[in-house]
Structure 1
């Protein structure tokens, strides 16, 4: 029986890193030894037991340095790989965990391929004792090759768990179970005997979206204002002065801001900046109260601030109409 073909794109991160020794689980970045896709597969030959894995060379880059340029590259690379290999079952992207959820959500809104795209990372480098890199990679390949993963949008796999790109977030600095879906839980599990799904994402996702990364030269500036007791709106006014076209307010739960910040956000909305109310709580929906409506402020639904920022930036490449942007937040 032939094995499925899965492409593996390596971008760097902990999963690609080699530290100073088996007990180095924190300072490995200082060594500066980061493997490319073909080297990672050679480090973990067990990947060949589950699929024919095609390494795709890309730049090795720390995930805090990843942004729109890399997101656009990855979306284009996914399309190119599928065009070059029509028998491809799926794509896996290795990524640092710091911004993994943001890359996953951007691709979930823009990638245009019919096969599953799965992002994977690790909390411990490949050189560490009890590294999670190898099993995470094997499981991500298994998920990408699974027929059940088709039509699910972009997925994230770590710690034997399968998450939807829209819903997952990093919740712990060092623990292996750091990636969680706070409100709804996992989509399924990658267990030793099977890849098992139990639910499907309901919001619209790749490849059926209205956003096209290839047609965008740069994302409009969208900033995040973080609420705290006594906040006076200085950051909001600075963002407006810097040319922000959108601002996401990471407010108190369930979506409030200090009076000074709310005044600044209202002023920003009044001069044409699109303001979206999210929450710093990490879980739950915001709601569009009468006060927000009167101020012209939209809501992020249950998107966390960093993902609301991505959707707002992409929305602003299509329209500046507030009602249309509100529709997009209800849709995606």
Structure 2
């Protein structure tokens, strides 16, 4: 019998690590403030060791709203260290809360330096709950990270037996198990039993090999998201500019537009040298670079959600402040 593949499991906390008051505590479990570290999660799901030789790596155990740039940078460095310590590693799994899971996954997909498959996994129900999805999601993620077919696909997200691209996936429901969706293009593949099956690939570029280097950075440039609504008058945009924003993302109305006063504020920001990117609050669809946007000096976000457009714009600003080069990055990544 051939040895099992070796996979590292990094725990960052989240629902997949959480312990509620009892087995029916599905919604208010964060009140206990109890979360398991990576090794304890593996002990709670012994079945995962039938899929791979899993190496637990402690990171921290927090709710995912507490995760941002410092944790992304530390995870990049931690993945480098783990890969160097285990040259025979097949892949890496990162356990994560679902609230910001898609943002961490996309940030890592733009900044990782290791060539291994990296899979981000979470759960909708705490590991202590009746019918929790934590255990099976973890097993599926480990199988995906260990699969040779997962190499070269960028950072992957695995929940509910589905494999999604970090760039495309978004959380669409507060509590349902089928919350993570890729609205425009659908899943990359699925995990059925011990089979990891792929049906398509994402065409956009991803790490390793991107120009985004986190090593010299203490923080990302400030980029804020302004949410459009009927009657928005630009107050939020002006406040972000006053706070020192170097970039702005507009979560616009579904066509990729904003109310007139908001549009004027965004145009003024662009004229002042702030890079402004127009996204949409719709959750799917491409915002093209229209004549109206070009006349205002505003870039289109392609089909990135506002929260992901913010990440790409912040990283782009560590490389260039040329709007044409930033636009090219949005067409590339």
> Any gaps of 5 or more consecutive residues in structure 1?
none
Q: Whole-Å Cα distance in 2 between the matches of residues 82 and 100 of structure 1?
A: 22
Q: Secondary structure at the match of 2:22?
A: coil
Q: Whole-Å Cα distance in 2 between the matches of residues 172 and 291 of structure 1?
A: 33
- Mapping of residues 156-167 of structure 1, within 5 Å: 156-167=157-168
- Mapping of residues 34-183 of structure 1, within 5 Å: 34-183=35-184
Cα deviation, 1:46-91, whole Å, max 9, x if unaligned, reads 0110000000011111100111000000011001100110000000
Contact 2:106–2:155 (Cα < 8 Å) also in 1 = yes
1:209 aligns with 2:218: no
Q: Whole-Å Cα distance in 2 between the matches of residues 262 and 16 of structure 1?
A: 43
Structure 1 stretches of 4+ moved >3 Å = none
Q: Secondary structure at the match of 1:292?
A: helix
* TM-score, length of structure 1 as denominator length: 0.99
Partner of 1:282: 283
Contact 2:143–2:194 (Cα < 8 Å) also in 1 = no
Partner of 1:22: 23
Partner of 1:8: 9
Q: Secondary structure at the match of 2:103?
A: helix
Deviation at 1:208, TM superposition (A): 2.2
Deviation at 1:291, TM superposition (A): 1.2
Q: Whole-Å Cα distance in 2 between the matches of residues 69 and 111 of structure 1?
A: 14
Q: Whole-Å Cα distance in 1 between the matches of residues 325 and 207 of structure 2?
A: 19
Cα deviation, 1:254-309, whole Å, max 9, x if unaligned, reads 20000010000000000001000000001100011111111110010000000000
Q: Secondary structure at the match of 1:34?
A: coil
Q: Secondary structure at the match of 1:57?
A: strand
- Mapping of residues 211-226 of structure 1, within 5 Å: 211-226=212-227
Partner of 1:306: 307
Q: Secondary structure at the match of 2:175?
A: coil
Q: Whole-Å Cα distance in 2 between the matches of residues 185 and 290 of structure 1?
A: 30
Contact 1:236–1:265 (Cα < 8 Å) also in 2 = yes
Cα deviation, 1:25-57, whole Å, max 9, x if unaligned, reads 011111111000000000000011000000001
Contact 2:83–2:89 (Cα < 8 Å) also in 1 = yes
Deviation at 1:216, TM superposition (A): 1.7
Which stretch of structure 1 is more off in the superposition, 74-83 or 209-218? 209-218
Which stretch of structure 1 is more off in the superposition, 134-143 or 200-209? 200-209
Q: Whole-Å Cα distance in 1 between the matches of residues 192 and 290 of structure 2?
A: 44
- How many correspondences in the alignment? 332
Partner of 1:327: 328
Cα deviation, 1:296-325, whole Å, max 9, x if unaligned, reads 100100000000000000000001000000
Partner of 2:201: 200
1:234 aligns with 2:239: no
Deviation at 1:199, TM superposition (A): 0.5
Deviation at 1:193, TM superposition (A): 4.1
Deviation at 1:213, TM superposition (A): 1.5
Q: Whole-Å Cα distance in 1 between the matches of residues 127 and 62 of structure 2?
A: 16
* TM-score, length of structure 2 as denominator length: 0.99
Q: Whole-Å Cα distance in 1 between the matches of residues 316 and 209 of structure 2?
A: 15
Deviation at 1:215, TM superposition (A): 2.5
Q: Secondary structure at the match of 2:248?
A: strand
Q: Whole-Å Cα distance in 1 between the matches of residues 190 and 29 of structure 2?
A: 29
Structure 1 residues 193 and 60: CA distance shift in structure 2, 3 A: closer
> Any gaps of 5 or more consecutive residues in structure 2?
none
Q: Whole-Å Cα distance in 2 between the matches of residues 214 and 122 of structure 1?
A: 31
